[in-house]
Structure 1
Amino acid sequence: MSDTNTIRRVFERNVEALEKRPSIGQSTGSTTVRLRNGTTCVITNGSKELVCDVGREQGGNDEGPGPGVLERGALGSCLAMGYSMWAAYLDIPVDHIEVHVESDFDARAMFGVGKNPPGFKEIRYDVMIESEADEETLQELIEKADAHSPVLDDFTRPVPVKRRVHIQPSRGLHTAGE
């Protein structure tokens, strides 16, 4: 488990390295998603794998959390990690961090019913921090961490999305009715 001193040392080392050589902070992430069994997706990133699916009420196999759960989880975990790292870096004692993320959505649009967009209508998050530090210090910590949260930034700033389609002829693995 990463302790506060380790987190602080790594944070400081990364800040120093990025200040000396900004180019090492530039990168491209790549994740592959393969559909299997109708709706179940296997998400692979390097040596890590995770399964995503939808519930049976949506025609799925219910083999894992759905995409909306992963979106909320990505935001909440990025925020929680950020609070932990910034607290360690700023030497603010923290005993417990929890982030609760809610989203409002209208599932009708996903099925082509209604005119609302298919995505989230609103996202809210509650931050719970247990600490000996005073409230002002913790508010400053939260503001600083939120300002540097990559996933929060992805949700709040329009990010260009580009699609490329590669169509390949079928290998004849499926028969009619499958």
Structure 2
Amino acid sequence: MSTPRDIAHAMQRAVGVFTRRPDMGLHDDAAARASWQHGTRIVAAHASGTRIESDMPVELGGTGDRPSPGWFFRAGIAACTATAITMVAAEQGIALDHLEVEVGSRSDTRGLLGMRDADGAPVDACPASMRVDVVLHAQDVEAERLHAVVQEALRRSPMQGALLGQPPLTVDVATTPARAA
């Protein structure tokens, strides 16, 4: 298990490398590959072999026995935020005793269904709002300092950055012939 000191040392080594070679900081992230199974059941896979299954609620044609892709999105934001907080705290010599991050959102399902509002405008499929709740504690560390750690972590979090910065999205589509049954 990594200690705050281990995390801080690893970050210092990375800063040293990227200071000497800034070009090494830019890299392709591990891709996530999602494959349709049946109905609304999807399996996403990582190159390591890790697999996660998603499905939609019964009301939208799924089985409801797996989390939805939207939940995995929120879980990724929560995990990324918690990781960034852990790293910033370690960098500042703060040993956290407790950390929880909960990410919620409010969405209008009509957007996913391609529906239009009363005025004829398409309903947005994206969440109308999102919320991040952080609960943390570190022995003998003032609340103001912990708040500053969270704010710095949010500034550094890649997923928070993607939400706020809206990076360009390129979509390539390839079609394949249907497979014989």
TM-score strictly above 0.5: yes
Deviations 1:25-77 (A, max 9, x none): 11112221111022111111211221121122211133421111011111111
Instruction: Tell me what 1:65 maps to.
Output: 67
RMSD: 1.4
> What secondary structure, in the 3-state scheme, does the structure 2 residue paired with 1:120 have?
coil
> What secondary structure, in the 3-state scheme, does the structure 1 residue paired with 2:104 have?
strand
Instruction: Tell me what 1:37 maps to.
Output: 38
Question: Unaligned regions of 5+ residues in structure 1, if any?
Answer: 174-178
Deviation at 1:171, TM superposition (A): 2.0
- Asked whether the equivalents of residues 96 and 129 of structure 1 are also in contact (C-alpha less than 8 Å), the reply is yes
In the alignment, the residues of structure 1 paired with residue 114 and residue 17 of structure 2 have an alpha-carbon distance, to the nearest angstrom, of 49
1:26 paired to 2:26: yes
1:154 paired to 2:162: yes
Instruction: Tell me what 2:106 maps to.
Output: 104
In the alignment, the residues of structure 2 paired with residue 159 and residue 144 of structure 1 have an alpha-carbon distance, to the nearest angstrom, of 20
1:4 paired to 2:4: yes
In the alignment, the residues of structure 2 paired with residue 138 and residue 82 of structure 1 have an alpha-carbon distance, to the nearest angstrom, of 13
In the alignment, the residues of structure 1 paired with residue 65 and residue 34 of structure 2 have an alpha-carbon distance, to the nearest angstrom, of 15
Question: Unaligned regions of 5+ residues in structure 2, if any?
Answer: 118-122
Q: TM-score, normalised by structure 1?
A: 0.91
Deviations 1:99-150 (A, max 9, x none): 1111011111211223321110011111111112012211221121111110
Q: How many pairs were matched up?
A: 173
1:121 paired to 2:143: no
Q: TM-score, normalised by structure 2?
A: 0.89
1:145 paired to 2:147: no
- Asked whether the equivalents of residues 56 and 66 of structure 2 are also in contact (C-alpha less than 8 Å), the reply is yes
Q: What percentage of residue pairs aligned between the two structures are identical?
A: 27
- Asked whether the equivalents of residues 40 and 63 of structure 1 are also in contact (C-alpha less than 8 Å), the reply is no
- Asked whether the equivalents of residues 51 and 63 of structure 1 are also in contact (C-alpha less than 8 Å), the reply is no
Letter in 2 for 1:32: R
